[in-house]
Structure 1
């Protein structure tokens, strides 16, 4: 009877261990996918590759588990190894990116090893349960617990783990979880374990806890090597990595390590983005800005006294919070996000357009580059069809459209997509489109496309006072394209084919790979 009770207790622990290791394994997979998306770009491709490699490695691990002679020892060693390999996954990847400039080899090697070790867990646990004689053992119970653990991890990762731990600390913390499972297994099955196991576990746990304590310092070391200037803020949100650097009076914003603005030249970008549309619009009482959570575009919009309301829609509420409340950042946009005329909405741009019933005189799209399918949809025929339904009869819209030099086909694909978007005011016609470009030192030759539902009058722009860059002469020059960046036969972009993301990747790869 005593042995049966002991076996039942051990069986209960092993089912709990199954739940815990399932949580840790999926967290490692999500960390790898997120890191590859942040650092390599094209999130759809990276998530697909990570999932494929991880699942195939798990299958290999399940097969290899049959060659493990002692199931309990194999399980404990797998947890100790996972605690080190999985725990140090994010630190290794970050340091590889900072010091080597490439993460592909270490990422997929570590991911494959984690997958193999994770794939061995359930077969080994099932064998241990059989070995200790748990009468109620059923293999489907182990699988059920494993799947529940995966569900909990997938929910907790974006809602709790990333906002409160960040990727570096999360990786190390779940490494400690695997080591905790190994430690309790050593205690519960102490009669069947060896001194070597216990010593190895102790060293691994000490190293992991030490690294976890030093996680913030390691992040600082990585940031110091990734960025030229001093990092004054670095945060991981459920949506992206936010980094802000400063050197003397120069401030730069990076999202997922890609520069968004530099205070030395951001006026060139934002004046070119905002003022052609604002100055051309017959009416500009109500303005919508999609993206632009830093408030710079809002600052430019508020130069016009006849603006009655500005609706700013940005996916990540932390960006708008920082640029509204941070004492060093709010002055960069002139406190525009605190203006009573400005309404800030934390939402997906597509969903906002789909759900709002309002119409706007001017719509400004300050969205990320279409580097992947998730972003490409915001430059599609379907998205623009929704957009024009939110424009007034004389409405004007403008979008940043990438570089006509570095990604020529991508730029002209956006222009053609707007040209072929159904015009709700003039049935059978597309939108009236004006492509233009300017030089922004941080980005290079950068392009924009302005679109309207009615033809715009050919006249000099009535620009507001106080601009640093844009003039009537610059506006005329901006509409001229040299032969090597002029219009191509690029296809329009739709959510059915996403040709734009292909054009974008091909263009930038040709220049920088």
Structure 2
């Protein structure tokens, strides 16, 4: 008995320690990837990334701690018999196989639960996260008890804890740098699970050679079954998730993609043929059903107001430089490219994939009138080319002509130099459309250019990160890049169904110094059918009254619109005193240090349309 263990200890000690170090490295990688996948799935299901990441880590670490504490009862004695040593080996292999399966199928189980038994989804999420934590927490104690036959205490700790921590760091880096972009989100768990499976296989093979694995046929059968599960699950995962996602949409999905930053879907109504663009799986961005009610207001109201200002100061021929923060669907940009007094459009979109999708997908091309293809001068910049305090740079592009999948889309391959596009170089003068793949909040902080009109087409502030886009600090950055006499507009959720959120955004803009014009209108496809915007400016009271009168006397817009007419502007500005009185959060201002909007959205007594 003892001689058998001693033989294993002395004969292959070097190989055993190499196996344990490699196993700990791999399990560290897998553990962190599983954490990220579970937290990412919870964020997609429940919407609040900060809270869901914290909950995931809480459940996971609690399970890990409980498993580590419980090993004292399973591994109480210092001296082990050969039978107990073999039990250790078998337990470690079993845990790795189980963890490979549990981590691989976690996303599908959560999505299936959310689709079919949503009332139990929180319990399913807890059980899966806690269970995976138990399995991860049991790995190191088992590995340490095996390794104590090959190494002294200090070396044992280095072989297990150190390599596990190193693997954790590598796993985190792999997740955000490689896995999110190389695999579909629902398949990432299978990649990590396969690595756990490799650890189980290496352990089985090594100790099988030493005749230290009991009942090997049962384990071999388990390996065969799990191999089928991992391969089949990996292949079927996209179709499973697709079919589950379809349950949440009233119209059939014609296109869906996990971009690494979000899930973008396009649906199409079979009867009417209108398309709908959806971000973050469930939140509608735009719909053809609205007939431009949303995008035409965002594009035309501020630009016309600013144009009337230029006429009032005696420069009617002045043309406007417009920035769009968000709006990668190209719908607002499409309207502006047809306005004769718009000089240039700078569109800042955080997710490059949105630009690609909306410049290649057939329904989007018909919807945005192929705006990215029509632009006379299209420059596409990646995020890494911005330099704080310097002019907007034009350097080597995303790629070559046809980068978006269409040879007809000409992307100029510009020389590697940074110039002000208002400079004398004809190649860079007054481009019709510039697309910058960058965080708009950081863009406004760093860029040198200033704009006559800034259109903030941001998503709803339904999470902590999105709430930051509507803070005093963010509006200060927008103000910094606004020209004298300039105008901004932001979408501001529903003044009917999320009134306190709408008024908080209004208060926040006022705190920065903007004078505001709240707007509201019916947008049929949006939650509740009612939406709001806020215009910000710095005109005197007399001047804005004059400009509004001129606007209201307009008979038509400078471009053809399907629904909107100038007369709508006066109607959209009508609010009663009660409309502008908060239900609960009177005078709330949103700041980095106190995200009031997030608190309001979490309060279901006053807000339901953003998070529900």
TM range (shorter): over 0.9
* Deviation (angstroms), 1:2: 8.6
**Of the candidates 201, 211, 225, which is equivalent to residue 183 of structure 1?**
201
Q: How many residues align?
A: 505
Residue 593 (structure 2) aligns with: 496
Query: Contact between 1:32 and 1:111, CA under 8 Å: does it hold in 2?
Result: yes
1:432 correspondence with 2:467: no
* Deviation (angstroms), 1:370: 1.0
TM-score of the pair, normalised by structure 2: 0.79
* Deviation (angstroms), 1:133: 5.2
Q: Distance in 1 between matches of 2:254 and 2:118?
A: 22
1:468 correspondence with 2:545: no
Alignment of 1:237-248 (within 5 A): 237-248=259-270
- After superposition, the Cα gap between the structure-2 partners of 1:156 and 1:55, relative to the gap in structure 1 and judged at 3 Å, is same
- After superposition, the Cα gap between the structure-2 partners of 1:216 and 1:466, relative to the gap in structure 1 and judged at 3 Å, is same
Residue 75 (structure 1) aligns with: 92
Q: Distance in 2 between matches of 1:266 and 1:147?
A: 55
Residue 277 (structure 2) aligns with: 253
3-state SS in 2 of match to 1:131:
coil
Q: Distance in 2 between matches of 1:216 and 1:509?
A: 38
Residue 268 (structure 1) aligns with: 293
**Of the candidates 217, 225, 240, which is equivalent to residue 247 of structure 2?**
225
Q: Distance in 1 between matches of 2:182 and 2:25?
A: 22
1:445 correspondence with 2:540: no
**Of the candidates 369, 372, 385, which is equivalent to residue 334 of structure 1?**
369
Q: Distance in 1 between matches of 2:102 and 2:576?
A: 52
Q: Structure 1 unaligned runs (5+)?
A: 422-429
Query: Contact between 2:601 and 2:608, CA under 8 Å: does it hold in 1?
Result: no
Tell me which moved more, 97-106 or 375-384.
Answer: 97-106
Query: Contact between 2:20 and 2:159, CA under 8 Å: does it hold in 1?
Result: no
Alignment of 1:54-453 (within 5 A): 54-69=60-75, 70-101=87-118, 103-132=121-150, 137-190=155-208, 191-193=211-213, 194-195=215-216, 196-248=218-270, 249-257=273-281, 258-265=283-290, 267-281=292-306, 282-283=309-310, 285-338=320-373, 339=375, 340=377, 341-421=432-512, 430-443=513-526, 444-453=529-538
Q: Distance in 2 between matches of 1:469 and 1:436?
A: 17
Q: Structure 2 unaligned runs (5+)?
A: 1-6, 76-86, 311-318, 378-431
- After superposition, the Cα gap between the structure-2 partners of 1:508 and 1:387, relative to the gap in structure 1 and judged at 3 Å, is farther
Tell me which moved more, 461-470 or 318-327.
Answer: 461-470
Measured on the aligned residues, the alpha-carbon RMSD in Å equals 2.1
Say which one has the larger Rg.
2
Query: Contact between 1:292 and 1:312, CA under 8 Å: does it hold in 2?
Result: yes
* Deviation (angstroms), 1:5: 4.9
- After superposition, the Cα gap between the structure-2 partners of 1:503 and 1:393, relative to the gap in structure 1 and judged at 3 Å, is same
* Deviation (angstroms), 1:135: 9.0
- After superposition, the Cα gap between the structure-2 partners of 1:266 and 1:35, relative to the gap in structure 1 and judged at 3 Å, is farther
Query: Contact between 2:349 and 2:436, CA under 8 Å: does it hold in 1?
Result: yes
Q: Distance in 2 between matches of 1:2 and 1:53?
A: 38
Tell me the alpha carbon deviations over residues 301-330 of structure 1, each in whole angstroms, 9 at most, x when there is no partner: 223112111110011000011112333322
Query: Contact between 2:184 and 2:238, CA under 8 Å: does it hold in 1?
Result: no
Tell me the alpha carbon deviations over residues 172-223 of structure 1, each in whole angstroms, 9 at most, x when there is no partner: 2222221221122111111222233332232222222211122222123223
